[in-house]
Amino acid sequence: MFVRSYLRASTDDQDATRAREALRTFAAEHGTRIAATYVENASGTLLDRRELLRLLADAEPGDVLLVEAVDRLSRLDRATWDQLRERIAQAGLQVVSLDLPLTHSLLRPAAAGGDSAQEWMTRAVSQMFLEFMAAFARKDYETRRARAAQGIAKAKAAGAYKGRPRDEQLHARIRECLARGMSVRGTARLLECSTSTVNRCRASQA
């Protein structure tokens, strides 16, 4: 059994590797280790994620896809989730999520001679709960977006919405780096900010 961990954060400003140690500890506690780790900053509402697709391409039947939480794997709408679920099944992967204890037993190697009735039942029930958690993750995403939009609309109506305040100190340092001829990626890496932040700052100077 080959355990492949998947770590995701939505934006470049977030640390996608935050849960790396938690996943390693979890695997060790279950008598196994993580053999490959895939990390990316990409929205969970998109199926076209480079590292996730690479994981699916690398996988062999019987491998485990290990995540911290189901929403790290998916915040997809139903139709797109169905596509991802089919690709996971075609790859022969078993999904194990720290926030879904029922899946933890899937880290145990299958019994010799094929699946027992109990193992088959465990996989079936685990899949059912995975479906539920994927739907919940999407609903949570939609609820948060709706609330944020409502809050912004209310603030705009009251004339109080000004958007996210700009970090003037950071922007000054970005301008200095760019003036010295540093690249966008090099500046972002040095100042530990996103490339989108650097590009916005550069655009404001044009």
How far apart CA 73 and CA 75 sit, in angstroms, is 7
Higher pLDDT, residue 6 or 160: 6
* Residue 3 Cα distances to 28, 32, 58, 96, 107, angstroms: 11, 8, 11, 10, 8
Unique residue bearing structure tokens 């989730």: 81
User: Which amino acid is located at 159 in the chain?
Assistant: G
| Average model confidence (pLDDT) across the chain | 85
pLDDT at 205 over 60: yes
- pTM value? 0.68
Maximum CA extent, the chain: 69
DSSP secondary structure of the chain: --EEEEEEESSTTS-TTTTHHHHHHHHHHTT--EEEEEEEE--TT-S--HHHHHHHHH--TT-EEEESSHHHH----HHHHHHHHHHHHHHT-EEEETT-GGGGGGGSPPPTTS--HHHHHHHHHHHHHHHHHHHHHHHHHHHHHHHHHHHHHHHHHTT----SPP-HHHHHHHHHHHHTT--HHHHHHHHT--HHHHHHHHHHH-
| pLDDT value for 188 | 83
Q: Which residues are catalytic?
A: 10
Q: What Rg do the C-alpha atoms of the chain give, in angstroms?
A: 21
Residue 42 token pair: 């990409």
| pLDDT value for 161 | 57
Quick one: residue 192, left, alpha or beta (phi over 0 = left, psi -120 to 50 = alpha)? Answer: left
What average pLDDT does range 11-24 have in this prediction?
Answer: 89
How far apart CA 52 and CA 73 sit, in angstroms, is 8
pLDDT tens string 20-65? 999 999 999 999 999 999 999 999 999 999 999 999 999 999 999 9
| pLDDT value for 115 | 60
Residues 6 or more apart whose Cβ sits within 8 Å of residue 173: 191
What average pLDDT does range 122-151 have in this prediction?
Answer: 75
